[in-house]
Structure 1
């Protein structure tokens, strides 16, 4: 009797699977998907992406339209490539596209318990609230201003000594090291040292999360030993958290106040409810803390430094723009002191330069991927549930209908006639994303980029090495979770302050 029941149960399961496949096939036939290139069996359109997917997708959009359909392995994807196409997805139907797809790397690195890659829902809202109100609020960022000033002063001192020796400097390396030191001190409360070498781990995560890894779309083809890297990261975070907990016990409650680093702040929430009035009660445990810290580190390590390097490279390529920015700094700040963060609101042309750098060299050319929560129809196209939404900001920022014909030219003046802000309300310029999934650390990033760039331009003149002409500077891109220059920026500084 039992065997007959098992057989019947098995047949029912088989029939259910067959019916599911038939229903899915029937449904797909009646769907009106956006146009797009024909996918191949199994791999879909993955083979078309190449080493610079943002450029490939822009070219495909010219053929298939600003709302385009792809299949990445067995994952349906929608690519949007213009401000007009972006608005209904990221504004009108923002809630439906507020989730994140699950990818293999985030599962192993507990990123789904953090903020950047967790699914949309009550837990994500609670974590974002903590990050917004406790880590990135104006008061907290202001407490770190002396730290930023100290580290930036250290960088200027190193460059000044190099200038006195007539040395050519690896600008990319120096800016990257300074940015790492600021990040370590804000997040972990310490400087870079051998105990907490997170750089290699972050670089691995950047590679695994930033690339179109075939294992995310065809899981059976996984080729990465992610478990080994995640185990190393886990041990490192345990050490960091243990040290902070021991320090808190020794000092009778921790640092108590404004100089708490991010680890201290997050650990203070492990002993209390995130929202006691919510029907779904959430605690922060050690895994949650690790995930949020990893979000902070990966977001801060490379992004600001990359934007500063692109901006400085463009200024070296365009002496007229460099001169105009230096004249503004001389007028506003003078030549007898260094730039202070309090000067930034008065540096209008600096703001235009940074905006143009965000436009022409977005750190995240495809932003972070979104995922649809339910089936929806937009502009007459059906978008199935669990579709991956790819926002090609690189293409949006080069839309000739918005930016005129000279879209590839670095021209800060274009923003004098275009009322665009970076907060995500104008879809022509969304370097920090927009809507519910917009980056909560935007203000910190903007402050860091502007003060460092202002300091480097105000304190130094820059000369390219070996007689290189400005327009010969190699501006080749390297694609990843952040899009950096393929080759390090090398230059010879000359100190110019009195």
Structure 2
């Protein structure tokens, strides 16, 4: 009996699948005869039913394959079909502005994906949630509480402390170097910047550098902190992968590409460590009861725990705070690491750019005090270098994906409801229709006589997301990146290590947009010895 029942179920499923696919094919054929009004963007050739899914699976990373296909097609907008999902890829600033400015409300949703859902704890954060009341509530918390001028000023002391610790850390490496040359000591730039950015994020979010009170004498990351940081970058790599389960949801949990397990392990590590401090803070705020004055607020967690609704109840649950903390960890930390490493690499290959940036710092700041966030508005050439790096060497392949909430058009093409919209960061930044000599690193192209800003509302390059689903931390991100680069250039002389090639090898990783190999450079102090702060790992 079971044998016949199983066969019957199998036949029903097969019949249903065949019928569904036939209907889908008929719908596609019908759409072709509806005229230009339904004309999709240029589409690469694919297979019936599955579309370009084979190409997606065979060409990893898929993000780079998409751009190669579009380059061959000579188009700035293309429609890739992965199963029944239309994925619209854009490499034009004009069309990108249509997405985030002219039709911002239409494309305000986020696609459902395995990685976004897991990172946000079932869409309980702010970055990956669908557009709606809950997402608006969480974004309001971010804008009015965590990224407000009041909150940023409250945490300025913590950021300044870590800027001082940055110099102390690099100086410690120099002093302990076993193989000093006339150029100084070889250092791993990526490791230095990773350490600094993680320490800053820890201070802002948790009010301390370490998950446990274990101090590293030289300023480097402890074992827990390193595991936490590595998990953040693993989660980011997984987010910008293309899973077959995102287009055929019934495959979720099967781990067909092996990346679901990697993502879960990474996010679980981030959440585990965050929860350690969140649980501590929760108990402390229970003791403080209703005393929510500013004296008790030392970090973002304190601010979140102090928020009340109209009835005096906590505005956010501990679970929401945990998921929001993971969002805050994952989003933005990679920008500083990528920008600083690529910028220093380009400067080492173009000494005149390095010397010009150092000259500006000496003129604006001098050598008798250290670069501060208040100097950022006046460091226009340094910011131009950062902008040029955002343009030529963007951090991630795309903006966080958008999704069409209903049928619409882009660049005159029909965009069906539910389409995924991917604005390509390298595609926009390296587009020869927008930029002269787009593959040449030339910071001067951003000097216009006005104050240089890292934000780019016209999307001729992508630094921070814009529009109603854009980045709420652009002001903080700008201050952190420019101050970090300014401190490194002010505090040390930078040269290519002796015994290596005359030029840094500017090769992109095969897996992502970071440098293929961590940047190694020689450093030597350039300020008076009393200008270098001592390392401080205690409270700010």
Stretches of structure 2 lacking an aligned partner (at least 5 in a row): 1-11, 213-223, 529-540
Shift of 1:45: 2.4
Contact conserved, 2:86 with 2:420, CA < 8 A, in 1? yes
Match runs of 1:459-478 below 5 Å: 459-477=491-509
Q: Structure 1 pair 231/341, CA: closer, same or farther in 2 (3 Å)?
A: closer
Specify the alignment match of 1:139 in structure 2: 150
Counterparts of 1:46 and 1:465, CA distance in 2: 45
Counterparts of 1:22 and 1:72, CA distance in 2: 14
Match of 1:367 among 381, 399, 416: 399
For the pair 1:446 / 2:470, whether they are aligned, the reply is: no
State the Cα deviation string for residues 351-397 of structure 1 (Å, max 9, x = none).
21111111111112311111111011233311111100010121111
Give the secondary structure class of the aligned counterpart of 1:168. Answer: strand
Counterparts of 2:358 and 2:195, CA distance in 1: 25
Aligned length: 477
* Pairwise CA RMSD: 3.0
Give the secondary structure class of the aligned counterpart of 1:71. Answer: strand
Match runs of 1:64-463 below 5 Å: 64-109=74-119, 110=121, 112-164=123-175, 165=177, 166=180, 167-193=185-211, 198-219=228-249, 220=251, 222-223=255-256, 224-225=260-261, 233-253=270-290, 256-257=293-294, 259-269=297-307, 271-272=308-309, 284-404=316-436, 406-417=437-448, 421-463=453-495
Contact conserved, 1:183 with 1:300, CA < 8 A, in 2? no
Counterparts of 1:248 and 1:317, CA distance in 2: 52
Stretches of structure 1 lacking an aligned partner (at least 5 in a row): 1-9, 277-281
Counterparts of 1:288 and 1:168, CA distance in 2: 43
Per mean C-alpha deviation after superposition, the further-off stretch among 182-191 and 33-42 is 33-42
State the Cα deviation string for residues 40-82 of structure 1 (Å, max 9, x = none).
3565324445345454333333315112111124321111111
Counterparts of 2:101 and 2:347, CA distance in 1: 34
Q: Structure 1 pair 52/467, CA: closer, same or farther in 2 (3 Å)?
A: farther
Counterparts of 2:264 and 2:188, CA distance in 1: 34
Shift of 1:398: 1.3
TM-score by length of 1: 0.87
Shift of 1:486: 2.1
Contact conserved, 2:117 with 2:128, CA < 8 A, in 1? no
Counterparts of 2:39 and 2:163, CA distance in 1: 54
Match of 1:490 among 504, 511, 520: 520
Counterparts of 2:333 and 2:481, CA distance in 1: 13
Contact conserved, 2:345 with 2:504, CA < 8 A, in 1? no
TM-score by length of 2: 0.81
